[in-house]
Amino acid sequence: MFKKILIANRGEIACRIMRTAKRMGIATVAVYSEADSNSLHVGMADEAVPIGPAPPRQSYLIIDAIVDAAKATAAEAIHPGYGFLSENPNFAKTLDAADLVFIGPGARAIGVMGDKIESKKLAHAAGVNTIPGHEEAVEDAEQAIGIARDIGYPVMLKASAGGGGKGMRIANSDEDVRVGFAAAASEARGSFGDDRLLIEKFIVEPRHIEVQILADQHGHIVHLGERECSIQRRHQKVVEEAPSPFIDSATRDAMGAQAVALARAVQYQSAGTVEFIVDKNGRFYFLEMNTRLQVEHPVTEYVTGLDIVELMIRIAAGEPLSFDQGGVELKGWALEVRVYAEDPERNFVPSTGRLSHYRPPPQNDHVRLDSGVCEGSEIGMYYDPLMAKLITGGASREQAIARMSAALDEYCVRGVSHNIPFLAALVANAQFQLGDVSTSFVEQQYPNGFRSRSVVLRNPRILLVVASWLHHATEQHNVQISDKIPGTALRSRQYVVVSDDNEYAASVSYNGAGAQLEIDGEGYAIASAWTPGELVFRGRVNKEPVSVQVQRTGVLWRLTYQGHTALIGVFTPTVAALRRLMPVKEAADLSKFLLAPMPGLLVRVCVADGDVVSAGQELAVVEAMKMENALRAEQDGKVAQVLAASGDTLDVDQPILEFE
């Protein structure tokens, strides 16, 4: 077994690999860019080596820098995690030449499976079901249009060397192909250094289901069942689970057999994932093979009881698998959600800044957190905005969902925008709880975008009750502060509760550990040990456990529960009457400006001063978190002034153009 390994990655996956390595008694080496000098993975490692400036192309993607760091620290093997160099065959070849062990498959397997064209040919030859499409790279948009007409719309354009949703476009018409071809090729070139595209039939409302495989150096290959990864946004997974609520045992066996056959055909060694598209009738088709550790591997670990990172390390060290297919037993159910620094209410634009507060839920045998940040961490613009993965499990899917919902309610992040309310709303969604999902689930459920205040709670008055109790508890605390004029504990009080311009009559009778409340005559019993300043209310309302995110905003309470956010005011009747007389401040009119929706790099400005533009026309392209985002005109108009230039680094809401 290795004595020391280097992790050629950052963030949560670097931390996760280190945890297993330390448990195995293996010393760890971190590498870090200038932007990551104070990152969590650097502090967790036994040694850490700087490798360059913040941009990945100048640090985490520099093969020589990684090799030099390994040599300098006497590391024997390198784990690449996911992303960066994890699926770069040249990296595997270079490590082999440098007498370093790559904790992953061989360069040939990475190369063949990383090329969507070659992998599809190999899969077809191995007897794996494949999607109808063109088997060679498409030369230009016009050729793509001809192929699309032969296959029949809709079609998918996707980068041959790609993954993670980058370089992918769905086209429903010739014009979609023309526009999508250029955009997908540009994105592929920027992300992978390879702008080749392939085209294939797009399966309408498919499920995205993948099979985890393990293969050692002695010819033993097993699969560990499937993961349901259908809930996606922009082709990137948001919620994953194991097993799939859609797959029966016969389909599971068939998919697993094909995944193993493909791995054997490419002489695979290590952990890998074979991804399939499954239509509504249960027919499945090969999509791609990821020759690395997957982000969502923890759900498989929960239902199998195996540590996939440990098995990758043991396979790389030459050990045979200690079990065969008959030894793989699936028990229980697990969910994983990806916690991103992004703003769901602004079309999920990435968010940057410092984590002023970071309080994850308590962990136990059924609640796991793989985090790459901590309180005080800086979220920058150079890397993927994934902060952590939250995993919950149980004996049943219902139990795993209930634990996820409770954990998300307790997960407190401040300082950056984040998607926790969106995730909480997803797992509380009735259609999700039935397992009725597809890759278009998010678009179907939120066609006009996600709005936390629009999420419907099962008990819509729960936050009115909590707000009333919080306000009363705060007043109780305030009258007991030392050096104040002596007051009397407020045993009972009448309030007017205001939410969304609706007013409710409330009364609170406090009795130490709990209180009796009435909202418009409806009674509630509430008990909690919450004290002013705590970020999460934990208590019971009518004996049911409730956790609510708490933030004081001026005179209002900002509360978030099960994905719903409400601004609630609690006032005495006198103050409420005066408040009704207050004028409402109108928001500034910014309709004449094109604003940067996110912090990022202004790749290009497509118009000039005085240009007349039409609705839908591309005005500018902003790159953030390795993705290009086209900004388009919402209506016809005329450009008065261009306020930023290509190459500028933009702040969120920074004006790019002004219209007449």
Query: If you count DSSP H runs as helices and E runs as strands, how many of each does the chain have, helices first?
Result: 17, 38
Cβ atoms within 10 Å of 15's Cβ, excluding its own? 26
CB 239 within 8 A of CB 426: yes
Asked, as a colleague might, if the bond just before 243 is cis with ω within 30 of 0, I would say yes
- Token output for 82: 């996911």
Is 240 a residue of the active site?
no
Strands 47-52 and 27-33 turn out to be: parallel
Of 409, 395, 337, 328, residue with least CA distance to 366: 395
CA atoms within 13 A on the CB side of 406: 19
Of 255, 304, 291, 277, residue with least CA distance to 209: 277
216 Cβ contact list (under 8 Å, min separation 6): 269, 315, 319, 320, 321
Of 164, 17, 15, 16, residue with least CA distance to 78: 17
CB 144 within 8 A of CB 183: no
Annotated active-site residue in 228, 288, 336, 628? 288
Residue with tokens 């300098």: 72
Q: What is the DSSP letter of 138?
A: B
3-class SS letters over 376-407: CCEECCCCCCEEEEEEEEECCHHHHHHHHHHH
Cβ atoms within 10 Å of 14's Cβ, excluding its own? 25
Residue with tokens 């994850």: 360
302 Cβ contact list (under 8 Å, min separation 6): 242, 332, 334, 368, 391, 393
Residue with tokens 């905003």: 553
Q: Go through 40-65 and write b for each residue having 16 or more CB atoms within 10 A of its CB, e for each that does not.
A: bbbebbebbbbbbeeebeebbbbbeb
Residue type, 649: T
**536 vs 409: CA distance, rounded Å:** 8
**371 vs 385: CA distance, rounded Å:** 12
Cβ atoms within 10 Å of 384's Cβ, excluding its own? 22
Residue type, 190: G
Q: Go through 249-275 and write b for each residue having 16 or more CB atoms within 10 A of its CB, e for each that does not.
A: eebbeebbebbbebbebbebbbbbbbb
**316 vs 24: CA distance, rounded Å:** 14
- Token output for 350: 């990435």
Pinpoint the alpha helices (H) of 266-340.
297-304, 308-316
Pinpoint the alpha helices (H) of 126-173.
141-151
CB 201 within 8 A of CB 131: yes
Active site residues: 288
